[in-house]
Amino acid sequence: MRNKFRARFLLLSIVLFSVPFSVSLLPAAEARDIYVRLADGVSSIKVTSDGSLKLTDAASKTLSPGKSAVLTRSGSSATVDKTKASLPIRISSSGLLGYNGRKYRGAFLITREFVLINVLDVEDYLRGVLPAEASSKWPAEYLKIQAIISRTYGVRQSLNRSARGYDVGDSTSDQVYRGAGVESAATDRAIRETEGEVVSYGNELAFTPFHSDSGGHTAANAHVWGKNLPYLTGVKEPVTYRSPNFEWTVKIPASQMQTALTKAGVSVGKLREVRVAEVDAGGRVVNFTFVGSSGSSSIKASQFRTAVGPNVLKSTMLTGEAPAVKGAAGEDDFDELWESPESSDKNAALPAAPVPTSSIPLTGGEEARLTRMTIDGIFSSAELMDMLANPEKRKGYLYLGIQRGSGAGKDAPRAETAKVPLPRSLPGASMPALRSGQVIREENGGFTFRGRGWGHGVGLSQWGAQALVGAGWTAERVLEYYYPGTVVRKFR
């Protein structure tokens, strides 16, 4: 896949959420803005505008500096072009506001602590979130899913504003937010079509974390962030799919392992081995025990993953060596067939001729036929990924599948199901999940981990959700599957 598309998954896989809390739903008439932190710890802030700026300070003094202003902190005040103004200061404009090369809707607020906050309506906030958290080329039904869970998270945060004075940051610590400059027609449409819709559990807004790829089974919130939530206990992926992180292997140098353990507060001397202390019902590692020259210590697998780097240890769905498979693939060539997604794509190549694009949507009957083709293995894994990344090719793939199914295209490359069978249960089931008691030892100066998926594993799997959308599931059905016991309802 293209580097840009992979980079988007890098952002997706490390999205982290704050500790869950209970938030009761407000009456539908009560709408609230969201407060997004853009900058703190700075001594000066430069703001711009497409129109005319208007600054109002704590004493209700109004300044009109034109289309640009530099505010410099001075105790409990700020200097604006040699004029003092009392903090906090609200900044509005007849046009879009600008900061650090980005455009923003709504207003700016500079707090007493000199924190720059973007204050805007939740729906406008989502317009700057969705393109950063999902590709606008993804299926329209999936974009509706992303809109609903991102709205739920943002509204939930805004109803529990803490003493810090803002609701969310603009990075992966909450949700990536890039302002008005990244808005797209596809994501805007998804926001409009789901306006006000949130995920609720009883009378409360649900906690709706998401990640790139579960590797076959999502994680329980209690195993990652400590709180037991009945709608986040982990679910099995109901359909098979392949993602760029379908399988992966990483060798972590012993020195890097030692640094990570120190960061996690673990002291065992020179590390000798890593033991799998506990595995959940879905096959994910819950706890590790680290054994060293001066003792042993156990911590959560998710805690270690954070310490060593969530882009290094991609998930806690760890596997052992791939066993030899007889029949479809011989023992000698199995390892070659089950390499990393990048190298295995050579065994599931895209069509020899480019698949045409079309702006004409598929009919209901065509959608059903295309879905049946994917289930029957007409397309290779690389083709399925290409179809997900480029929805405008769906009609072209439908015609390609018709040719293959009818025998009209005998020379067209077929899905490699005879060489590389797609698993019937967990993606990558050929590589068994590690069991409690299994050991990873140092070899040649490092520790080798194998696994499936990418991300913390809690809540919705983005690749899994796209596979379900491809199988004909609605956004509501997908959400109620990944967050069992919840319902999608209107917040306002």
pLDDT one-digit tens code per residue, 5-29: 333 333 333 333 334 555 555 444 3
Tell me which DSSP letter residue 440 carries: E
Q: What is the C-alpha separation between 184 and 177, in angstroms, rounded? A: 14
Per residue in 78-95, pLDDT (tens digit) is 999 889 999 999 999 999
Tell me which DSSP letter residue 193 carries: H
pLDDT surpassing 80 at residue 38 = yes
**For the chain, give me the number of helices (H) and strands (E)?**
14, 23
Q: Tell me, what's the pLDDT at 487?
A: 96
Nearest to 318 by CA among 286, 292, 345: 286
Q: Tell me, what's the pLDDT at 328?
A: 32
Q: What is the C-alpha separation between 291 and 301, in angstroms, rounded? A: 14
Three-state SS at 44: strand
Three-state SS at 335: helix
Contacts for 135 with CB less than 8 Å, ≥ 6 apart: 5, 8, 389
Pairing of strands 210-211, 460-461: parallel
Q: For the chain, report the end-to-end CA distance as a whole number of angstroms.
A: 39
CB 483 within 8 A of CB 460: yes
Q: Tell me, what's the pLDDT at 366?
A: 76
Tokens of 265: 């507060």
Nearest to 465 by CA among 476, 454, 449: 476
Tokens of 334: 């199995």
What mean pLDDT is reported for the chain? 81
CB 91 within 8 A of CB 109: yes
pLDDT surpassing 60 at residue 324 = no
Q: What is the C-alpha separation between 64 and 53, in angstroms, rounded? A: 6
Q: What single-letter amino acid sits at 411?
A: D
Q: What is the C-alpha separation between 198 and 486, in angstroms, rounded? A: 10
pLDDT surpassing 90 at residue 231 = yes
